[in-house]
Chain A
Amino acid sequence: MNAKIERKTQPPMNADGRRFLPRSLRGLFCLFESVFYLRQSAFIGGFAFSCVLLQSPALGAEPVIRANLSVATTTMDQPVELQIEIQNARIIDPPDVAADHLQIDMAGQTTRYQVINGQPAFSSIFSYLVTPSLEGSFSIPPVPITIDGKTYYTNELTLQVTKKAPNNPATAPDKPYFGELVIPKDSAFVGEPVPVELRFYFDRRIWYQPYPQGQFPIIDGDGFVTKKYPDPVEKEETVNGKRYRLLIYRTAITGVHAGRLELPSAYQEFLLHLPVTQSSPGFDDFFEQSPFGNQSNAFERKDVKVETNRGSIEIKPLPETGRPADFSGGVGQFTMESSVSPERNKVGDPVIFQVQVKGLGNFDRVQAPHLEAMPEWNVHSPVSDVTPLDEVGLSAIKAFAYVLIPQAPVTRTPSVTFSYFDPATEKYVTLKVDPKPVSVSGASILSTTSPSPLSTSPEAAPSPAVVTNLSRFSASSGFATVRQETWFWIAQAVSVAGLLGIGFFQWWRAWKTLHGPASALRRERRRLYRDLKSRDDESVLSAATRLIEVDFLLRSRDTSRQITAEEAVKQRDIPDPLRARLLELVAKRSDFVYAHRFSPITPMDRIGIRETLREWEKTP
């Protein structure tokens, strides 16, 4: 919504957007603009050509009228050029131009025909010489021009006229090059940007280039800050009857404290190519030579430091009276607008509330506008973005994007106020933008003092918890991943051990199945050897007979088969005496067990039995 600030009704003029400029700066704005429209030197004439123009479709288009001054600032008795350009219409009689304290004389008329993008364009340019006779700021009012019964107006122009400075180089241009510092105002307020021009004049026959290339002029001194330099503008101008090529640097200075601000000479270094005359080389007598005679094609290179005149400006303090509480340092002329997106929303979902401050002033000091406090809105600090509208950055748009979180159903945004100091009226101005309508639905969360973030229902979901810290503290294992946890690797080890254990168990079972009978036989053999020492003769004989069988089975592949001692003795290839002794032993045991024929066993017999069995076991 537009700011509530009243403005004077302006006469109709071209919609070029400069109406918001203060009166004191409009002239400078026109000066900037004139760069694009000053190429009027092409003169097109001739009857046949005029006939073509008469049939040109461009004449059917809407007329475009522009007026500009060659410079926005001059000194007393130093004329400037006023041009009124009328496009798409034929005007024969020059418009009448008059202004107080300015002598305005018709200087000439030119016509121009161009073909732009295949479309013919015709324009008439009326030139006037404007000579000021007094110091001050003078306005050239809108000039009425009647075309086909309809009246159009030129834009209003302002010319700043200063005194002739005694050290102003422009007034004593006896040199082939010189500099000039143009300050359009005598006074400004702290923080108010003042546009200035640094002009460097060169004789037309001098080729020049800033050195080093891309270097900008330097204004030494303190108590002020300068804006960035845009690219310089080149043009031609006549000073005291001599034509000069002119390089203009534009910037703005801002005084940072009250008092008289003395600006020392600004300077810029240039690389010059000066023509060399045969009779007297160098440029000291350069102007004494005829431009057409006695010249050679030789040039001399020279690095020079071109200085401007000094300047000064009174920096006034900002008044204390009437200073709004929310004034943050903005000085200039501003308007303000706001927008909100989306306009329909739910409680807890953010909306973007954008406030644009537009105008001319010190945008680096323009702080965020003040938003009305509303409990329904949770307001976050805004993000700002500046879009310059001119090359110096005096005119710009500063946009502030606020994130607003609705805490309850609400139908409007907060209102916005912004205060600044207007140097033209020398008063503080407070802009106010009315609230924007919005539609926010949903349950209010204003009364919820400790939202439960653990709730999973969407209604109770923690919405704008940005200002509410949580009081619960849930247990957490921290940032360690399971790979860094000891229990994880213990679990892996247990799994590996289980797998290995099962494998070992399986192997053990298979081994036992394979080697179990042999083991049992070995155990039995150890037991039988103990039985050989028994006093019981039957036990001795039974043990000896069984030992024969066990030894035979242990040496055979099949340990589980049944075999008798007699068969074992017969099957093995052994010496006959040993075989006979073994068979005798087997027979003795059979007699004892089955025939009950007992013959006592003497100790020598026991030794003999053991020796016989040992020989049996040693046989291959």
Chain B
Amino acid sequence: MNWLLIGWLGLLIATENSKGDPALWNQANQEFAAGKFEQARADYLQSVASGNVSPELFYNLGNTYLKLDDKGRAVLNFKRALALAPGFEPAKHNLNLVLQAAGVEPEEESLTTWLAQYPNVWMLGGSIFFWILAYAGYLWFIWPRFRPISKILLAIAIPCAAVCLAIVFLVGDGVRSPERAIVINPSADVRYGPANGSRVTVTLGLGESVHLLSERGTWSFCRTDSGLVGWLPSNEIERLVPR
């Protein structure tokens, strides 16, 4: 009974912690409503720095940047909100609006993009089905009388585990990858070398994502979604996962 009480208290504390600082949150919202966007941005960023993040926090921060006419960071924060909650309609809506206003065609959602939105689902699913497979296979060998049940479990677990683990291999951490970055300038030239005079490989538009491979000074070596690699000025991109 005592252990149950301690567990319940621990859960309560954890839930309270995840709500962040309500005073700071309300203050930032009031500043936004009053048109004090600079202050609201500072308070929202403070909330982000505290580590208590939520889709709503990034959504509100994106709106604030939009009011400050910083479309790049508005797009970045709407994408952060969607990375936390892929089905978050307000963020989707505003992201499309900003991209449209910036003259960027919103990217079509491919199967890979959709899969990359749910990295935890595939990892958890793969893990669960893998262990079901392992236990059912073990049962098959050691307890022959359980073989009919083992057969059913194996028939379900083998394909599900294979699919989930293949997706994990394909998308990795997906949109939550710490190496994923977003272009925050209206356009960014990917160059062959880390120099302004170097030849341009491809030009990326606002909101396009790249995978960071390494950094050298003020330049970042990255791979685009189309597979091209090159150098980008580090100030033209920002990591999707805030540090």
Chain A residues with CB under 8 Å of chain B are 348, 350, 352, 380-381, 383, 401, 403, 405, 451, 453, 461-483, 488, 491-492, 495, 498-499, 502-503, 506
Contacts and interface: CB of A to CB of B under 8 A. Distances in A.
B22 interface: yes
Interface in B57-73: 57, 59-60, 63-64, 66-67, 69
Contacts of B134: 495, 499
A479 to B, nearest CB: 4
A381 B63 contact: no
B33 A469 contact: yes
Contacts of A380: 97, 101
A473 B127 contact: no
Contact of A472 (B56, B84, B101, B127): B56
B93 A464 contact: yes
A481 B56 contact: no
Contact of A470 (B56, B142, B178): B56
Contact of A403 (B19, B54, B100, B124): B100
Given A453-B90, A470-B56, A481-B119, A476 B69 contact: no
B221 interface: no
B51 A478 contact: yes
A473 B176 contact: no
B89 A453 contact: yes
A579 B53 CA distance: 89
10 contacts: A380-B101, A383-B101, A465-B63, A467-B67, A469-B29, A469-B60, A469-B64, A475-B19, A503-B138, A506-B142
Contact of B19 (A463, A465, A473, A506): A473
B55 A474 contact: yes
Interface string B24-53: 011001001100000000000000000101
A473 B20 contact: yes
Interface string B148-183: 000000000000000000000000011010100000
Contact of B127 (A464, A475, A488, A499): A488
B57 A473 contact: yes
B7 interface: no
Would you list the 8 A-B pairs with minimal beta carbon distance, nearest first? Answer: A475-B18, A469-B60, A465-B90, A462-B90, A479-B241, A470-B56, A476-B54, A403-B101
Given A466-B94, A481-B173, A502-B138, A473 B120 contact: no
Nearest to B83: A479
Given A469-B32, A473-B25, 9 more contacts: A403-B97, A405-B97, A465-B94, A469-B60, A471-B29, A473-B22, A476-B85, A481-B119, A502-B138
Contacts of A463: 93
Main secondary structure of the interface of B (DSSP, over half): helix
A465 B93 contact: yes
A467 B29 CA distance: 12
Nearest to B44: A469
B29 A481 contact: no
B60 A466 contact: no
A384 to B, nearest CB: 10
B88 A453 contact: yes
Nearest to B40: A469
A476 B123 contact: no
A461 B89 contact: yes
Contacts of B226: none
Nearest to A403: B101
B89 A478 contact: no
Contacts of A464: 93, 97
A462 B83 contact: no
B152 to A, nearest CB: 19
B53 A476 contact: yes
A434 B109 CA distance: 39
Contacts of A480: 176
B10 interface: no
B8 interface: no
B131 A474 contact: no
Interface residues of B, number: 52
B95 to A, nearest CB: 10
B195 interface: no
Contact of A383 (B15, B51, B93, B103): B103
Given A350-B100, A466-B63, A506-B142, A481 B83 contact: no
Contacts of A383: 101-103
Most buried by A among B90, B102, B119, B178: B90
Contact of A479 (B101, B138, B176): B176
A462 B89 contact: yes
B56 A473 contact: yes
Contacts of B84: 476, 478-479
A451 B93 CA distance: 14
A565 to B, nearest CB: 41
Nearest to A380: B101
B140 to A, nearest CB: 13
Nearest to B67: A467
Contacts of A451: 90
Contacts of B174: 481
Interface in B88-113: 88-90, 93-94, 97, 100-103
Contacts of A462: 89-90, 93
Contacts of B135: 498-499
A381 B173 CA distance: 36
Nearest to B104: A383
For A466, A469, A474, A480, which residue has the most chain B Cβ atoms within 10 angstroms? A469
Contacts of B93: 348, 462-466
Nearest to B124: A482
Given A476-B54, A481-B123, A469 B63 contact: yes
A462 B53 CA distance: 21
A472 B20 CA distance: 11
Contacts of B127: 482, 488, 491-492
A190 B56 CA distance: 49
Contact of A499 (B83, B89, B138): B138
A482 B85 CA distance: 15
Contacts of B19: 473, 475
Contacts of A471: 26, 29
> Which of A381, A461, A466, A477 has the most chain B CB atoms inside 10 A of its CB?
A466
Nearest to A385: B103
A483 B173 contact: yes
A472 B100 CA distance: 27
Q: With a 10 A CB-CB cut-off, give which of B69, B138, B242 has the most chain A CB atoms.
A: B138
Contacts of B51: 478
A102 to B, nearest CB: 50
B121 to A, nearest CB: 9
A297 B35 CA distance: 80
A470 B59 contact: yes
Contacts of B131: 495
A405 B94 CA distance: 11
Interface string B111-140: 000000001100110010001001100100
Nearest to B60: A469
Contacts of A477: 18
B67 to A, nearest CB: 8
A563 B181 CA distance: 82
A475 B20 CA distance: 9
Contacts of B176: 479-481
B66 A466 contact: yes
Contacts of A467: 63, 67
Contacts of B124: 482, 488
